[in-house]
Chains A and B, each alone.
Chain A
């Protein structure tokens, strides 16, 4: 279990809880109670039953034949895009709302980048009758307009984050500030494996349903439960953590994490954290962080709002440092083209985040006999405007 969190809240050199005292009692309460609550039988029953009947799990493990043919190997897509609300995010928000209920909280706050986590949070709040406030960077509200409207329709209040780069990092700052101001009645549903301990571990556990299902489904389909590769994109890293989780200790399974290179890793417009980052502290956690020499956080760039984050979850910083996972980065253009390719080959329009994971297939030396599981974290409906407006730039040839 050397890749899961230790009793002090660290993954190797990364993790911890670097938070001001005003948040300490909240985070401590979570830390004391989260394992007991989520391991409780009644909690598990309710969680499993809603994952099945409300989210639509298990999501299919689909043998993508035309894609496999193109890369001369065997590729399975884990269809998280078929989850209710269109991405893996709801696995976590459902778990956390059930936890919030048991903690006696009355009000839910969340941050969102692409809007997928915001929609998934607004959805479970509607389901459970909770007030929901979602912070979203002003820039992201513009490029993910349809998700803003979805959140509002679900009854959530969307508050624009107007500081800094006005994207995911700033939305997260605003959500944390809200929590500081409302520590007693509010639960903060973080959307990825980031933030102070125990959030990264808690979110990873809720997302681990992905690899739990993959193991069983792969056994049924191929007679063995371990693939040769698991591939996932990494913004904060929750879909990757969930897809890797049950394979972490089996070193024969190659774990491939894909970051957003933006306009190129050295272009100054990138979100490739493991390439550009150094150890630092962001949102309460010690991890790899894109920053200046003076320790100021650098504004990232990616075509996909969900990967536009200057850090990564501490579990991924550890997987990178230990070499357990291999990290690649994919440019805006490569991701865009991979998104179009998957649409044409398989009839599946992927989220631009997930398109980064598809694009990396070009860069791996996959053997014909290998079995590859690629986590298709979300569907591309929310990205249609970007697919339309960037078409001339990226598909000229």
Chain B
């Protein structure tokens, strides 16, 4: 049974126009400096990213490897928090047109209040939410109606050992896209994603209703291109955080980074 969602936002619109090679980039809000958030988003759009995931830093990012752990720690040390982030995003829609997502862990969202969080995200022009530790059962039972009423796509992860049955359930309750985790790993691992070809093909041929993006361990032009063969695009996180860490000047470094991924 197909459950049509009512969600119609910049993410769903993007995938109506662009079916291949979608580049989604993650960064941690508040890193390298507290006030870099808006600048990074704008520079990513100008550089040619199709979508941006804004990381809400958390003290205990369970699914993340050392690079993103450290950017989270640094952002918190810089003084980032949810209220601060929302202030920084106040005027973002005056300039930025590409889809924006908020990514983080459930606990800070719970403390903010899930309904208040959704309302605020909608006001700011955010299109999607990624909370890797929110179980789909609880989402369906408690939050789905709420997210949809604020026109937010909730993005679920799928991993190599996710069963076909569960994949179907995730597909039926998703909008926007499905996040295909490339290998059994935390973020920023060095596992070779070409090993995962069989798994990517299986998902590609499973007739999903939603577009897919492959993420985790995509770090250069080669791995990005490889992933794009099996999905509508791919997501880059740790590699971008590393580039930010080394950046002397944000705008130029971001432009160089995005070009290095997309170069043909």
Q: Which residues of A contact B (CB under 8 A)?
A: 16-22, 24-26, 163-164, 169, 173, 176-177, 180-184, 278-284, 289, 291, 293-297
B14 contacts across to A, CB distance below 8 A = none
- The reply to whether A282 and B60 form a contact with Cβ atoms under 8 Å apart is yes
- Consensus secondary structure, chain A interface: mixed
A284 contacts across to B, CB distance below 8 A = 62, 133
Question: Given A173-B60, A177-B65, is A18 in contact with B111 using a C-beta cutoff of 8 Å?
Answer: no
B138: interface (CB < 8 Å): yes
B133 contacts across to A, CB distance below 8 A = 18-20, 281, 284
- The reply to whether A24 and B166 form a contact with Cβ atoms under 8 Å apart is yes
- The reply to whether B107 and A282 form a contact with Cβ atoms under 8 Å apart is yes
Q: Tell me the bound Cα distance from A24 to B81 in angstroms.
A: 29
- The reply to whether B159 and A24 form a contact with Cβ atoms under 8 Å apart is yes
Q: Tell me the bound Cα distance from A25 to B69 in angstroms.
A: 24
Q: Tell me the bound Cα distance from A355 to B158 in angstroms.
A: 46
- The reply to whether B76 and A281 form a contact with Cβ atoms under 8 Å apart is no
- The reply to whether A164 and B181 form a contact with Cβ atoms under 8 Å apart is no
Task: Please count how many residues in chain B sit with their CB below 8 Å of the partner chain's CB atoms.
Answer: 39
Please encode chain B, from 132 to 153, with 1 for each CB lying within 8 Å of some chain A CB and 0 for all others: 1111001000000000000000
Partner of A21, one of B106, B110, B158: B158
- The reply to whether A180 and B111 form a contact with Cβ atoms under 8 Å apart is no
Q: Tell me the bound Cα distance from A183 to B132 in angstroms.
A: 17
Q: Tell me the bound Cα distance from A278 to B112 in angstroms.
A: 13
Q: Which residue of A lies closest to B104 (CB)?
A: A295
Q: Which of A25, A280, A295 neighbours the largest number of chain B CB atoms within 10 Å of its CB?
A: A295
B109: interface (CB < 8 Å): yes
- The reply to whether A295 and B110 form a contact with Cβ atoms under 8 Å apart is yes
- The reply to whether A180 and B186 form a contact with Cβ atoms under 8 Å apart is yes
Partner of A173, one of B62, B163, B166: B62
B255 contacts across to A, CB distance below 8 A = none
What are 17 A-to-B residue pairs whose CB atoms are below 8 Å? Answer: A19-B133, A21-B156, A21-B157, A21-B181, A22-B63, A22-B161, A22-B181, A180-B184, A180-B185, A180-B186, A278-B111, A281-B133, A284-B62, A291-B107, A294-B81, A295-B82, A295-B109
Q: Tell me the bound Cα distance from A291 to B69 in angstroms.
A: 18
Q: Tell me the bound Cα distance from A289 to B157 in angstroms.
A: 26
B189: interface (CB < 8 Å): yes
B21 contacts across to A, CB distance below 8 A = none
- With A18-B134, A296-B59, A297-B60 given, name 5 new contacts (CB 8 A): A19-B133, A25-B161, A278-B111, A281-B133, A284-B133
B205: interface (CB < 8 Å): no
Q: Tell me the bound Cα distance from A26 to B156 in angstroms.
A: 18
- The reply to whether B111 and A16 form a contact with Cβ atoms under 8 Å apart is no
Q: Which of A21, A180, A184, A291 neighbours the largest number of chain B CB atoms within 10 Å of its CB?
A: A21
Partner of B135, one of A18, A182, A183: A18
A280 contacts across to B, CB distance below 8 A = 107, 110-111
Please encode chain B, from 98 to 112, with 1 for each CB lying within 8 Å of some chain A CB and 0 for all others: 000000011111111
Min C-beta distance of B186 to chain A, whole Å = 5
B195: interface (CB < 8 Å): no
B73 contacts across to A, CB distance below 8 A = 163-164
- The reply to whether B63 and A20 form a contact with Cβ atoms under 8 Å apart is yes
Q: Tell me the bound Cα distance from A173 to B82 in angstroms.
A: 22
Q: Which residue of A lies closest to B158 (CB)?
A: A21
Q: Which residues of B contact A (CB under 8 A)?
A: 58-60, 62-65, 69, 73, 76, 81-83, 105-112, 132-135, 138, 156-159, 161-163, 166, 181, 184-186, 189
Q: Tell me the bound Cα distance from A284 to B138 in angstroms.
A: 13
Q: Which residue of A lies closest to B138 (CB)?
A: A16
4 A-B pairs closest in CB distance: A295-B108, A295-B111, A25-B161, A21-B157
Q: Tell me the bound Cα distance from A173 to B184 in angstroms.
A: 16
- The reply to whether A293 and B186 form a contact with Cβ atoms under 8 Å apart is no
- The reply to whether A295 and B135 form a contact with Cβ atoms under 8 Å apart is no
Q: Tell me the bound Cα distance from A289 to B64 in angstroms.
A: 21
A181 contacts across to B, CB distance below 8 A = 184-186, 189
Min C-beta distance of A196 to chain B, whole Å = 9
A17 contacts across to B, CB distance below 8 A = 135
Min C-beta distance of A370 to chain B, whole Å = 41
Partner of B157, one of A20, A25, A164, A278: A20
Q: Tell me the bound Cα distance from A280 to B107 in angstroms.
A: 6
Q: Which of A19, A176, A180 neighbours the largest number of chain B CB atoms within 10 Å of its CB?
A: A180
Question: Given A184-B161, A294-B81, is A21 in contact with B138 using a C-beta cutoff of 8 Å?
Answer: no
Min C-beta distance of A292 to chain B, whole Å = 8
Min C-beta distance of A181 to chain B, whole Å = 5
- The reply to whether A295 and B186 form a contact with Cβ atoms under 8 Å apart is no
A184 contacts across to B, CB distance below 8 A = 161, 184
Min C-beta distance of B28 to chain A, whole Å = 14
B58 contacts across to A, CB distance below 8 A = 295-296
- The reply to whether B184 and A21 form a contact with Cβ atoms under 8 Å apart is no
Question: Given A295-B107, A295-B110, A297-B59, is A20 in contact with B132 using a C-beta cutoff of 8 Å?
Answer: yes
B184 contacts across to A, CB distance below 8 A = 22, 180-184
B83 contacts across to A, CB distance below 8 A = 294
Q: Tell me the bound Cα distance from A180 to B183 in angstroms.
A: 10
Q: Which of A163, A278, A297 neighbours the largest number of chain B CB atoms within 10 Å of its CB?
A: A163
